[in-house]
Structures are given as structure tokens and as C-alpha cells.
Amino acid sequence: AQSVTQPDIHITVSEGASLELRCNYSYGATPYLFWYVQSPGQGLQLLLKYFSGDTLVQGIKGFEAEFKRSQSSFNLRKPSVHWSDAAEYFCAVPDNYGQNFVFGPGTRLSVLP
């Protein structure tokens, strides 16, 4: 079965600092990969997705992610964090049959002023 791990439960960074959130997946073939963000009490918003091609993917709000097949990773990065980026971030892959998504446990990001 597909699975997603996000090793960091909670990360705190200072505003303006760079950010990297880790995601590792277990998948039989080249996966589709997704990052979503969830603000408190809200639904999930898609940040970016990888299907194929260029392994560096650009998303909304200045985020990017890099697919590394050798490491089964799809880490999310942002060069300069803003206070409004404080939220929960989820990595996801489709399930075995491509019918629904399997989500990681999430990483909560706190931003210090």
C-alpha cells in the first residue's frame, strides 16, 4: 500500500528564514505527488503537484518542491518565510488504484516574528 511519511511534526522558523519540509513516500512506480496547506479550521489548499518531467516544481505562494526518485522524497521549500505561512502542510500521493489520496501526518509550521 502507498504510504507517506513526514518526519517533522512541528517546525519553527523565523520570518525571512528559509524553509524545507520533508516528505518521503512509498510507491510502486513513479508517483504523482502533491503538497497541500491547511490553515487553522480550514480545508486544504493545493500548493503544487508533480506528475512527470522537470523534477523541480513551482507552486503558489513562492513554494517549490523537488522530486528525488533515488531518495523517494518530495521536499517542499521556500527561500523566505512570511508570517502568513504558519499552517499545517501535508504531502500526498494517490492510492494503489489512483482513486483517492493518501496523506502524510502533516508538519505544523510556526513562524516567529
Partner 1 sequence: DTGVSQDPRHKITKRGQNVTFRCDPISEHNRLYWYRQTLGQGPEFLTYFQNEAQLEKSRLLSDRFSAERPKGSFSTLEIQRTEQGDSAMYLCATGNSNEQFFGPGTRLTVL
Q: Which residues bind partner 1 (CB under 8 A)?
A: 4, 9, 32, 34, 36, 41-46, 49, 51, 90, 92, 94-95, 98-106
Q: Which residue has the cell 502524510?
A: 104
Considering beta carbons, is residue 51 or 79 the nearer one to partner 1? 51
Tell me how far, at minimum, the Cβ of 80 lies from partner 1, in Å: 26
Beta strands 10-14 and 107-112, pairing class: parallel
Tell me how far, at minimum, the Cβ of 32 lies from partner 1, in Å: 7
Considering beta carbons, is residue 15 or 38 the nearer one to partner 1? 38
User: How many angstroms separate the CA atoms of 40 and 109, rounded?
Assistant: 11
User: How many angstroms separate the CA atoms of 43 and 62, rounded?
Assistant: 20
Considering beta carbons, is residue 18 or 45 the nearer one to partner 1? 45
Phi, psi of 24 (to 5 degrees): -125, 145
